[in-house]
Chain A
Amino acid sequence: MLFGLDILSTLIWLPIIGGLVVLAAGEKRARILSLIVAVATFLFSFTLYTQFDMTTAAMQFTELHAWIPAFNINYQLGVDGISMPLIILTSFTTVLVILSAWEVIKKKPDQYMAAFLIMEGVMIGVFSSMDAILFYVFWEAMLIPMFLIIGVWGGPNRVYATIKFFLYTFLGSVLMLVALIYMGLKEDSFSILAFHTLPLTITEQIYIFLAFLLAFAVKVPMWPVHTWLPDAHVEAPTGGSVILAAIMLKIGGYGFLRFSLPITPDASSTLDWLIITLSLIAIVYIGFVALAQKDMKKLIAYSSIAHMGFVTLGFFLVFMIIENTGSANGAAMGVEGGIVQMISHGFISAAMFLCVGVLYDRMHSREMGDYGGVANTMPIFAAFMVFFAMANAGLPGTSGFVGEFMVILNSFKANFWIAFLAATTLILGAAYTLWMVKRVVYGEVANEKVEALEDLNAREFFILGVLASAVLFFGLYPAPLTEILHSSVNHLLQHISVSKL
């Protein structure tokens, strides 16, 4: 309890109010104030971990207040093993983003920092909402700060990128709103947990599933609605890219677990081939697309899409495995693998974008052609970049390996060919990441600009160092994470293995 608020409410409103205070305080004190708010939120979010009860799948830290009694809409919060790690990831990443902007953002730093703090609160709200309309409010509200961040502090083509980002996500989500209201009318309540047990016919389920699919597929993003992501990433400032890759994409994956699978299990089981196909296309085809990129940020963006393909693949293999093995227990590893992949990708993609940001701040170019031999002038940075690139390619011992391995292992239980296609990522991922490293980091010093580069300063070293430790820690010892997931994932699988029809 802080100021009489419960933990989740504090985590949501502390950064939002903090953001407003930063706005009011003006440019001079913006940096230090926002760092204080972000660190306080991060530390406070750890109470979620320390007080978390891993033995139950029930919602914890619940809060319930009437919000719009006329429609039965409540301010209802709660977290389980699936959402809790994502909240901590959010508060963790925000601290790094604030730090990374410290000297770099010169134009209206207070508005920049405030936008990230407000977005942090809103994203935590998305993960902890247990009421569908509250969820939707946070879900959409998230667009506003991101829209401004890309548009105000972005690159040359930022206006196109940010409007595309906004309209894509908005279009994706409005149909979800219709589906949510439809169920709310049937159930006479907007509680997400009540939706889980709401009986729906197969036709209703399929329509609702497709509405959700559009919303979450845009967010994840899945092929073929992924085209906004490379644009948004390329144009966004470093911090924007980090939040986009580390958290926002995960919200799509989270949506599948919280909405699609439990609310429409039969439609999910009927249409799992669709998601599996789209995921495999993302893994294989987008992997090839990534190979062809010249822009570093674009390459990482495409690599994100391919990695998120693993997440959705892991989630939707469940039904084939249940059919093949007859029990839901065997499928748990795939779902857990997907979630581990989400968290790990949060660290790795954030780190990769921060690495590109470090280079961009010095050279103002993201083209790989402008670099070469960076290792000669920035040896410490090169070490980090190589490490994160290895992690991105799924090197054992890094967190990138754990999730991919769990999903591939599990896909063998479903179908050999799915596993085969998924495993191509080990080659493709290594190919595009390492090729990028080769062209940027190694080789002769390409030009005098590279020659003049200065190595990491203390702030940058700290940011990358923290991320590297996280990647290594979860790569060597993922148990703390998977332990949190177990009961919630098992409960989810129990739930979806029972038909609603």
Chain B
Amino acid sequence: MNDFELPNFALALPEMFLLGMTCLVLIVDLFLNEKNRVFTYLLAQLTLLGAVVITYYQAGIVSEISFTGSFIRDEMGDILKIFIYIITAVVFLYSRDYLRDRQQFKGEFYALGLFGVLGMMIMVSAHSFLTIYLGLELLSLSLYTMVALNRDSEASAEAAMKYFVLGAIASGMLLYGMSMIYGATGSLDIAEIGSYINENGISEDGKINIVLSFGLVFIVVGLAFKLGAVPFHMWVPDIYEGAQTPVTLYLGAAPKLAAFAMIMRILVEGMQPLVADWQMMLTALAVLSLAVGNIIAIAQTNMKRMLAYSTISHVGFLLLGIIAGNEDGYSASMFYVLIYALTSIGAFGMIILLSRSGFEADKLEDFKGLNERSRWYAFMMLLIMFSMAGVPPTVGFFAKLWVIKAVLDVDMAWLAISAVLFSVIGAYYYIRIIKLMYFDKAVDKAPIKAAVDMQFVISTNGLLMLVLGLFPGALVAVCQSVIN
């Protein structure tokens, strides 16, 4: 590309809008006192709403690439972005009263959260290794800071430090892998890397270029770190437990969508010809994640830590679809990650709902006797837990059904069987929560108080598990059409 082409800025309109608005949030927040802080919150929600509208109107079937090949707008990206906005908006809403009760209701939470969203959007829309890396770092830096926001808490500080150090190592791995791929292929553009590997990556006797395979290993390690797949999962429980619940809520949901997009861009679009190699590595990661996540979760007494291990096991399921290595599998993974994000914000939202000033509700026993205290919320949590366990008629069942179908379709029956067996082990710790809520007597009898909008959204969130479980057809069709 010798001639300078003016990039098509319109393609990146949602990103530019978000960036502008985030800077506005930062500035407006400077002039607000504690009482008026709610304007920062409203402005952040408005920003996300605007982004939804722009992305929705911009969406189209044809993929468009611009900024000299480093940015792509396609259907998959549009859907993922819209979900990222919505999930983040719900996270902001759940967090508002929690933060206000603890004198933590600061503009920084929202500004950093929005910057994180921008990072995720860039990851989703990246079409070159460099853009992916930039997006990832923007997201990661926001997350490190958000974990540390509760600066008086030692646990948070420790979590932030761990997260930063381990996250930096992971980024280093990823960058190192990318540089090797660049060395082997001479390009950072994902499409160009793809076509180069297709032509020259594998020699005629079936051996792959050694530099490529080294690069691939480092990239997979980096991705596994970011996803929290075993054996690169050690940071997940500590950070989930150490961070304040709203931050855990934030980092457990939407970033998973971005991570899925990153896998799609790097492994699938960039290195599809090496599918046999990364399939093998991901299989090991998936089986280990399913085993470790599900088994260790049983031993937890802290709800957030338990959900962290549950996340690890869900990452194992998510990888199953990618392992299948075909379009059906990728759609299954996308469906899985969307459903997982929705379920996960529901579960953390319930922790926030039960907690109040001076009381965190993050122990398992804090859920004791919830059915006596509030039948409605106990029922919502029941739906969320059964969805996590994958018991029909909740939507979690269909998420698992599809990834299992995808691996069976490529004749990996043993993988499907081990996945379902581990999900039985997993069912134990989810139904234990239900046991606590329904079968035990309430210790804490305080009434559950929440703002009307929070009550409404968390109820919708819980009911969605059932409604999507009864009518999963539309979302399935969307996931199928955007991947093809």
Contacts and interface: CB of A to CB of B under 8 A. Distances in A.
Interface of A: 66-71, 111, 133, 136-138, 140-141, 143-144, 147-148, 151-152, 158-159, 162-163, 166-167, 170-171, 174-175, 177-178, 181-182, 184-185
* 5 closest A-B pairs by CB: A174-B420, A137-B392, A151-B439, A68-B473, A171-B424
Nearest to A166: B431
Contacts of B472: 68
A82 B409 CA distance: 33
Contacts of B431: 147, 163, 166
A185 B408 contact: yes
A70 B397 contact: no
A317 B198 CA distance: 59
B296 interface: no
B397 A151 contact: no
B476 A68 contact: yes
B423 to A, nearest CB: 7
A151 B392 CA distance: 19
Nearest to B422: A174
Contacts of B265: none
B445 interface: no
Given A69-B477, A70-B480, A137-B392, A163 B401 contact: no
Contacts of A147: 431, 434
B386 A144 contact: yes
A163 B476 contact: no
Contacts, number: 86
Contacts of B413: 178, 182
Contacts of B397: 137, 140
A140 B439 contact: no
B469 to A, nearest CB: 8
A140 B391 contact: yes
Nearest to B478: A70
A175 B417 contact: yes
30 contacts: A68-B476, A69-B473, A70-B473, A70-B476, A71-B402, A71-B405, A71-B476, A140-B392, A147-B431, A148-B438, A151-B435, A151-B438, A152-B438, A159-B435, A162-B439, A166-B431, A167-B424, A167-B428, A170-B424, A174-B420, A177-B401, A178-B408, A178-B416, A178-B417, A178-B420, A181-B401, A181-B408, A181-B416, A182-B408, A182-B413
Best-surrounded residue of A69, A140, A158 (most CB of chain B within 10 A): A140
Interface string B414-431: 001100110110011001
Best-surrounded residue of A138, A163, A177 (most CB of chain B within 10 A): A177
B393 interface: yes
A406 B391 CA distance: 39
A275 to B, nearest CB: 22
B404 interface: yes
Nearest to B392: A137
A67 B423 CA distance: 25
Best-surrounded residue of A68, A138, A171 (most CB of chain B within 10 A): A68
Interface of B: 371, 375, 386, 391-393, 397-398, 401-402, 404-405, 408-409, 413, 416-417, 420-421, 423-424, 427-428, 431-432, 434-435, 438-439, 472-473, 476-477, 480
A177 B404 contact: yes
Nearest to B481: A70
Contact of B420 (A71, A138, A175): A175
Contacts of A185: 405, 408-409
A167 B432 CA distance: 11
Contacts of B439: 151-152, 158-159, 162
- State the majority secondary structure of interface residues on A: helix
Nearest to B428: A167
A98 to B, nearest CB: 20
A187 to B, nearest CB: 13
Given A151-B439, A152-B438, A181-B404, A141 B393 contact: yes
A143 B430 CA distance: 14
Contacts of A67: 473
Given A137-B393, A167-B427, 8 more contacts: A69-B473, A144-B391, A147-B434, A159-B435, A167-B424, A170-B427, A174-B421, A178-B417
A144 B393 CA distance: 10
Contacts of B438: 148, 151-152
Best-surrounded residue of B392, B393, B416, B428 (most CB of chain A within 10 A): B392
A178 to B, nearest CB: 5
Nearest to B405: A181
A181 B332 CA distance: 14
Given A137-B392, A143-B391, A185-B409, A174 B423 contact: yes
Contacts of B473: 66-70
A170 B426 CA distance: 11
A295 B344 CA distance: 44
Contacts of B401: 133, 177, 181
A412 to B, nearest CB: 41
Contacts of B476: 68, 70-71
Contacts of A158: 439
A312 B473 CA distance: 38
A163 B435 contact: yes
B317 to A, nearest CB: 13
Nearest to A67: B473
A133 B391 CA distance: 13
B202 to A, nearest CB: 29
A50 to B, nearest CB: 31
